[in-house]
Copies of this chain bind each other. A is one copy, B any other.
Amino acid sequence: MNSNRFPLRAGHAARFFNDNLGTITTAERVERLNSLDIHEAAGVLATLPQQKAVRILGRPELHHAAAMLTEMPVEHAARLLNATANDRVADLFQEMDEGARAHLFSKLDRATSLAVQHLMGYPPRTAGSIMTTEFVSVPASWTVERTLEHVRKVERSRETVYAIYVLDTETQALISVVTLRRLITGEPQASVLSVAQQGGIVKADPLMTQEDVARLIRKHNLLALPVIGEEGHMLGIVTVDDVIDTMIADQTEDAQKFGGMEALGKPYMTISFAGMLKKRAGWLCALFLGEMLTASAMQHFEGELEKAIVLTLFVPLIMSSGGNSGSQATSLIIRALALGELKLGDWWRVLLRELPTGIVLGAILGLVGFGRILLWQSIGLYDYGEHWVLIGVTIFAALIGIVLFGSIAGSMLPFILQKLRLDPASASAPLVATLVDVSGLVIYFTVALLILSGTLL
């Protein structure tokens, strides 16, 4: 597209990387390219030998890869993409704007464009969208020797040979998996099935979520997981390195959501100022609006507040304890749900654990709180008045109620979100704190009314 102003000087890349010895790794090249601006980086990438450029393009860590491709002469970009893993090409197309995508797409070779179109048809975050269609398969009728011969031939063109998939000669359905290391131990003239794995084949549906794919790969210690379509046809494989990338991205998302914001989707230093504000302001405002109910609750108890200003002193302390115990419970349950340690139906088991836990934790904090009032009163640091014992009892009882409520609300919220088919990871620490703050105030003043009525109130 921009071929007239594009620097395709020979030796450009070699000079940039200064690697006539070929000792720097692809990951290092990616880092060096990331430090350049898009135009410069595209120039270096375009003058690298194709094999090296393709390895660099294959890395999701490369910044602005889609933009670099649109900077290059379109035929050159297409040549690189034809040689790049199909799943990565689909991801790159996803990042391009409509015009550049259509133009470049028309220049791809037929096999690549078909595969990419196919991959882009799957919903994001499913096995179909993260799989690669480049895998090695052989008919069940082949011998070990013929299979080895085939692997030797395709070794250079396939992303990675993790395993060889054996298909039924008639139906093309996947019937067995052979690892490379078993294959080389086989008798050359024996059937490829003689070295096949025993036991069931672990496989995924193309619409399986990427989280479930990651869980299967982890559970069975796989290097690649075959994705099977209707009628048992094999569509592709999800490889362990794609799953690691997926896991990292998911966990970053979960951590940011738990912090009380939308997931950034980009590294902290590369997101724009406006983008950062957008991701943070939304939840912050929502939480602020929710937290406004605390002002209403305080207004409701204004009469009590005026009569016993001493009660206001403990409002922040008591409220935060509810939030903290809720945050603990939420982080435990979100993680246990994410790891599959707990299922939706386990909510009542969790409730039965959190009930005594909340009561004991609340009583511990309550004793500390009572101790503080006792101590301050006895050494004369502060005078809580003649009813200081009753105030201490109020604090003790309120803390049990609030920590219990925090533990229960915090542990049940992820289940409720999951039940509503929302992401349990949206149950952030600030969201739980906000929920617990309002009810915490109500619990506190209700307990105070019960205990202090007739004395202070």
Contact = CB atoms under 8 A, between A and B. Distances in A.
Interface of A: 22-27, 59, 61, 148, 151-152, 155, 160-161, 180-182, 184-185, 198-200, 202, 217-221, 223, 240-241, 243-245, 247-248, 251-252, 254-256, 258-261, 264, 267-269, 273, 276-277, 280-281, 283-285, 287-289, 291-292, 294-295, 298-299, 302, 305-306, 309, 312-317, 319-321, 323-325, 327-336, 339, 341-342, 346, 349-350, 353, 356-357, 360-361, 364-365, 368-369, 372, 382, 403, 428-430, 433-434, 437, 441
Nearest to A30: B219
A364 B289 CA distance: 12
Contacts of A285: 364-365, 368
B323 A198 contact: no
A428 B254 CA distance: 14
A320 B434 contact: yes
A237 to B, nearest CB: 15
B247 A244 contact: yes
Contacts of A403: 284
A193 to B, nearest CB: 15
Nearest to A255: B335
Contacts of A382: 299
A356 B200 CA distance: 57
Nearest to A341: B267
A328 B252 CA distance: 13
20 contacts: A61-B219, A152-B184, A152-B185, A155-B181, A155-B184, A160-B181, A218-B248, A255-B335, A268-B333, A280-B325, A281-B364, A283-B324, A284-B328, A287-B320, A291-B320, A294-B316, A295-B313, A306-B309, A316-B316, A327-B428
A312 B305 CA distance: 9
B312 A260 contact: no
Contacts of A255: 254-255, 258, 331, 334-335
B339 A252 contact: yes
Contact of A433 (B254, B298, B320, B365): B320
B332 A268 contact: yes
Contact of A277 (B217, B289, B360, B369): B360
B276 A441 contact: no
A155 B181 CA distance: 7
Nearest to A297: B316
A327 B291 contact: no
Given A198-B22, A299-B313, A317-B294, A284 B361 contact: yes
Given A155-B185, A361-B277, A365-B284, A220 B309 contact: no
